[in-house]
Structure 1
Amino acid sequence: MAETKTKPTGLSPATFIDAVEDPVRREDAKAVCAMMERISGEQAAMWGPSIIGFGSYHYRYESGHEGDMARISFSPRKAELVLYITGGFPRHAELMARLGKHRTGKSCLYIKRLSDVDRDILEELIRESLAWMDATYPR
């Protein structure tokens, strides 16, 4: 079985964010980092080379694969911010409709700029994601 590559590295999230080239994306990453830190009550930690996570949980799939991952996380990628929203987007249809300009993947929320979205709705989505994690993977 392959080893999980996304795990805590001990690198500094602040140093990683400071190295983000685009100044708007860098400031947006600082804002999302502060938001997730406040909501989770956890310090930011680097997970792999490019994901900033808060807290952790242990998972095990029916296949036998298991590992640890951040309870909530994001990454300031070159093209956009990626927030990892667990529990799926269909259950958040009403919030997603009010969020603003974004796109989604299976559990990824892609935002070009924080100014494109309603921050209060974004906070609510993060809180809902963390609540889903707490219910699904109790501490």
Structure 2
Amino acid sequence: MKKTGGSVASFIAGVTPAKRRQDAETMLALMSELTGREPELWGTIIGFGSCHYRYATGTEGDMPIVAFSPRKDSTTIYLDRADAHAAELAQLGPHTTGASCLYIKDVEAVDHEVLKRVIAASEAFARGGGDDYARITVID
């Protein structure tokens, strides 16, 4: 994955439907405040900071440390592993998960304090170097 250098504001302005655009604006403010970093576009993903990962299998690449994407059906928030946050996610409010994705259809309907804790824990995992399954090196 690579940074594409596009305008985050222009990208968000073009997000549809309007609810997803509103959720993207909320997530942008939340992640900007939480990370203290400027957002950057990685294709259709809005990321904060960057790192290099290498799995035990040898697969490796670059990605944002913290990121989200306003998809048509829901807002996707990228985490280290969703199952690592099961206790917190049980208190979040309406959502679904994938292996490392958190899907939220209505960002206003979830507990923002819980969401911040989950995102902060995922960021701390990356900044801590990952684990035996995935080694992570922070770039910026």
Could you state the TM-score of these two structures normalised by the residue count of structure 2? 0.87
- 2:109 and 2:100 map into 1 onto residues whose CA distance is 19
1:65, distance to aligned residue in structure 2 (A): 3.5
Q: Which has the higher strand share?
A: 2
1:64, distance to aligned residue in structure 2 (A): 3.8
Could you state the TM-score of these two structures normalised by the residue count of structure 1? 0.88
- Residues 105-124 of structure 1: CA deviation (Å, up to 9, x unaligned): 00000000112211111111
For residue 125 of structure 2, what is the aligned residue in structure 1? 132
For residue 68 of structure 1, what is the aligned residue in structure 2? 62
Q: 1:25 aligns with which of 20, 25, 50?
A: 20
The residue type equivalent to 1:35 in the other structure is L
Higher relative contact order (CA 8 A, sep 6+): 2
Unaligned runs of 5+ in 2: 130-135
Q: 1:60 to 1:138 in 2, by over 3 A?
A: closer
Unaligned runs of 5+ in 1: 1-5
Count of equivalent residues:
132
Q: How does 1:12-91 map to 2 (within 5 A)?
A: 12-48=7-43, 50-86=44-80, 88-91=81-84
1:134, distance to aligned residue in structure 2 (A): 0.7
Cα RMSD of the aligned pairs, angstroms, is 1.4
Q: 1:110 aligns with which of 97, 103, 106?
A: 103
Q: 1:8 to 1:97 in 2, by over 3 A?
A: same
- Secondary structure at the aligned position of 2:67 is classed as strand
- 1:104 and 1:64 map into 2 onto residues whose CA distance is 25
- Residues 52-74 of structure 1: CA deviation (Å, up to 9, x unaligned): 00000112234443321100100
